[in-house]
Structure formats: structure tokens, C-alpha cells
Structure 1
Amino acid sequence: MAALRAAKQALRKEIKRRVAALSGEEKQRQSVVVSQKLFRHPKYVSCKQIAVFVSMDDEVSTEEIIKDVFKQGKRCFIPRYESSSNHMDMLKLNSLQDIETMPLTSWNIRQPAEDDNSREEALAAGGLDLILMPGLGFDRSGNRLGRGKGFYDTYLERCMKHPKGKPYTIALAFKEQLCQEIPVDDNDVLIDEVLYEDDE
């Protein structure tokens, strides 16, 4: 276990360094390429209920994706992380403007307030068809390196107990986040697909 943890930590550092070296323009450019790939993806086209992460600076930007979700008339859910645990809910977003009124977390992303109980949680609202996954690093086999809190792994376990079953999962990545191989253990949930700018 200790060896695995150390390997993950070293890799997290390395990927953070690679992503930090990207200019804002380059991150934006790759975000557009990845968003366009998503918009053509059959799982995205057919999904009705989708969970989207609100992106941080070192992640593929999801702003255009959230806009498109509303344009297409899909139902959008975004994460609310509980900082004191590894518990996360996916709460319904009413509009793009809705995000702007939400409080900022210590990670500098907006999310529904802790005491905001007016929003539907995705699993209580019929479950999800698709989850867009953040992460620090990915390999081509669908292994994901998160930030170490286990929010998504725990949430996917809850999804698996839902009558609808596990939603399809797509990670959005800069090509700099792709690794040969991510060290994983049994708790790490595989991702169905990683979208990034490849040489097509």
C-alpha cells in the first residue's frame, strides 16, 4: 500500500508539473478540441441526465460543455464535495447563470452551498446516463489518477447500487495528462473512455 501511495504521489507531482507548463491559450485550445469530440459522441448525444464537473484551472474547461447541455435540453448535475469527508453529491443545475450565484470553495470552484437542500440529487432524480470525470492523470486502459480523496470512486459505488446501474463514464483530459500506466488498487474504478486531443 505504501509503495502504491508513493507511486501515485510521484505521478501526481509529475503531471501537475506538465499541466502547469501549458499556457492558458493552449489549455483553451485543447478544451475546445475535447469538447467538440464529446459533442459528437453517441453517449453524449443520447444522454438525458449528465453530471459535469465545474473545471479548475488545471482541468479541461467545461464551461462550453455546460452551455451545450442546456442548449440540448439535457438535465445537468454538478458535484458538491464535502470537504470533511469523501462524500459527494451530484446536484441539479438550473441554468448556466445558476453557477455564478454559488459560493466558492477552498479549491476556488463554485458549488451548491452545504445547506442548499432545494436541489435534486441525481440518484434521487432517476439516476445518471453519463458522468464526465475530472482527474489528474489517465492511461489508455481507463485507469484514473484522482486527487486522492476518492470522491468519484465512492460516488460510482453508490451509482452501482441504483436501479439504473453504473452510468457511462468519460474523462476529459489534456494530452499532457495521459500516462503510460497509472498505478491502481482494487478501490479505483475504471473509466469507460478518455477523451483527449489525439492525432486523428
Structure 2
Amino acid sequence: MAALQAAKRAMRKEVKRRVAALSDDEKRRQSLVVSQMLFKHPKYVSSQRIAVFLSMGDEVCTREILQDMFKWGKSCFIPRYESSGSSHMDMLKLNSLQDMETLPLTSWNIRQPSVDDQSREEALAAGGLDLILMPGLGFDRFGRRLGRGKGFYDTYLERCSRHPRGKPYTVALAFKEQLCQEIPVDHNDVLIDEVLFEDEK
């Protein structure tokens, strides 16, 4: 177990280094390529209830995706992470881009609904989710994901699998610099269905 944690730590450091070397323009360019790939994806096209992360500086920018979702009238859910050291996360409904601008910023500089905000629908309390767009630090081609070590998404996917609709399809959005040969995983790590990135084949 300790060896696995050490391997993950080393890999996180390496991927962070590679992503940090990207210029803002290059991140923007790859984000647009990945967004366009997603817009054509049959799972995205057919999904009505979608969870999406609000991106940080070292992640594929999801702003265009949010715009597209509202344009097509899809239901958009965003994470609210518990900051109390637990790995609990809810996916709460976002009503518009204007709605997003009014959300408070967390210590990680991510916007999310405040804990007192009880008015928003939680995805699993209602109709479940069709698709979850997954963040992460690193990914491999086998659906293994290297998160930030807090377990929010693994715990949430576990909850999804107990929902009557079952586990939603999961698509990770990645810069090609986040692709790894092979990511070490244990039984708590939930595999993702697909990783979208700019492939130069």
C-alpha cells in the first residue's frame, strides 16, 4: 500500500511538472480541441443530465462545454466538495453561466455552491446522471485515473452505482501531457470509460 501511494505521489509530481510547462495558449488550444471532440461524441449528444467540473488552471477548460450544455438545454450539475477532510461530494444543479459567476470561491479557487445553499437539486436525489465529465491529474489508455488523492470522485461513483439508474458513463477530459503509460491503482480506484485528448495518430 505504501509503495502504491509513493508511486502515485511520484507520478502526480511528474504530470504536474509536464502540465505546468504548457503555455496558457496551448492549454486553451487543447481545451478547444477536446471540447469539440466531446460535442461530437454520441454519449454527450444523447445525454441530458451531465455532471461537469469547473476547471482549475491545470485542467482542460470546461467553459465552452458549459456554454454548449446551456445552449442545448441540458441539465448541468457541478461538484460541491466537503472541505472537512471527508471525501464527500455532491453534484448540484447549475442554472446558467450567470449563476456560476455568483458562486463563492473556495480555498482552491474553484466556484461552488455554499453549504448553506439548500435550494439546488442534487443529481442523485432526483433523476441520477447520464454522463460525468471527470477531472484528474493523469490518465492512461486503460481507463485508470490519477486523482488528487482525496477520493471525491471514486466515492461519488460508488454512490452512483447504488442509484436506480446505475453508474453513469464517465469521460475524462485531458491534455495529452496528462497521458501516462500505466497508472498504479488499487481496489478503491474506479475505472473510467473513456479519456478524450488530442491524439496525434
Q: TM-score, normalising length from structure 2?
A: 0.99
Query: Paired residue for 2:145?
Result: 144
Mapped to 1, the partners of 2:167 and 2:97 lie a distance apart of 26
Q: Residues 135-165 of structure 1: CA distance to partner in whole angstroms, max 9, x if unpaired? A: 0000000000000000000000000000000
Query: Paired residue for 1:104?
Result: 105
* SS of residue paired to 1:113: coil
Query: Paired residue for 1:43?
Result: 43
The residue identity in structure 2 corresponding to 1:78 is: I
The residue identity in structure 2 corresponding to 1:103 is: P
* SS of residue paired to 1:159: helix
Mapped to 2, the partners of 1:43 and 1:108 lie a distance apart of 30
Mapped to 2, the partners of 1:83 and 1:194 lie a distance apart of 27
* SS of residue paired to 1:179: coil
Q: Could you list the runs of 5+ residues in structure 2 that have no partner in the other structure?
A: none
Alignment of 1:98-137 (within 5 A): 98-137=99-138
Query: Paired residue for 1:9?
Result: 9
Tell me how many residue pairs correspond in the alignment: 200
* SS of residue paired to 2:142: coil
Query: Paired residue for 1:181?
Result: 182
Tell me whether 1:52 sits opposite 2:46 in the alignment. Answer: no
Q: Could you list the runs of 5+ residues in structure 1 that have no partner in the other structure?
A: none
Query: Paired residue for 2:170?
Result: 169
The residue identity in structure 1 corresponding to 2:78 is: I
The residue identity in structure 1 corresponding to 2:21 is: A
Mapped to 1, the partners of 2:191 and 2:22 lie a distance apart of 27
Mapped to 1, the partners of 2:180 and 2:94 lie a distance apart of 33
Give percent identity, aligned residues only. Answer: 81
The residue identity in structure 2 corresponding to 1:174 is: F
Mapped to 1, the partners of 2:126 and 2:134 lie a distance apart of 20
* SS of residue paired to 1:55: coil
**Could you tell me how far 1:124 is from its partner in structure 2?**
1.1
Q: TM-score, normalising length from structure 1?
A: 0.99
Mapped to 1, the partners of 2:199 and 2:98 lie a distance apart of 32
Tell me whether 1:154 sits opposite 2:160 in the alignment. Answer: no
**Could you tell me how far 1:125 is from its partner in structure 2?**
1.8
Query: Paired residue for 2:81?
Result: 81
Mapped to 2, the partners of 1:161 and 1:125 lie a distance apart of 13
* SS of residue paired to 2:12: helix
Alignment of 1:24-35 (within 5 A): 24-35=24-35
**Could you tell me how far 1:44 is from its partner in structure 2?**
0.1
**Could you tell me how far 1:199 is from its partner in structure 2?**
1.8
- The CA RMSD measured in Å over matched residues stands at 0.5
The residue identity in structure 1 corresponding to 2:34 is: V
Mapped to 2, the partners of 1:98 and 1:188 lie a distance apart of 32
* SS of residue paired to 1:67: helix
